[in-house]
Amino acid sequence: MQDQNAISLESTVVVAKGQVSSEVGDEVVIMHVESGQYLGLNSSGARIWNLVQEPRKVSEIRDVIVKEYDVEPDRCQDDVLALLRQLAARGLLELVAAAPVALPV
């Protein structure tokens, strides 16, 4: 399991392999296949889950949520980071390694 505290606004995250999710109305239910644990997300959590189906920077996720919901940017940032860290702690989310930067020779 990775250190979920390593997730910051500059992190790129994506859903982990080994999970199954299903939309139920405007919410989503996720099951971690290996542990058999379930997690339910409300509509805003489901929107975030939808956004991380493809690798995405946390700052981009925050920006989308601020535009789509009536929430203060600072509060949104705290809530997005908290949810993503919870998902990572449960093995449902992975950090995507940054591509190496080519230095001039």
CB atoms within 10 A of CB 96: 12
- Whether residue 105 lies inside any domain: the answer is no
- Whether residue 101 lies inside any domain: the answer is no
| CA-closest candidate to residue 9, choices 105, 89, 93, 85 | 85
CB atoms within 10 A of CB 5: 10
Query: What domain range includes position 44?
Result: 4-95
CATH code, domain carrying 57: 3.90.930
Quote the number of domains for the chain.
1
Averaged over 69-98, what is the pLDDT?
A: 93
- Whether residue 86 lies inside any domain: the answer is yes
Q: What pLDDT is recorded for position 1?
A: 44
Does 72 have pLDDT greater than 70? yes
- Whether residue 41 lies inside any domain: the answer is yes
pLDDT-based confidence at 97, cuts 50/70/90? confident
Q: What pLDDT is recorded for position 6?
A: 85
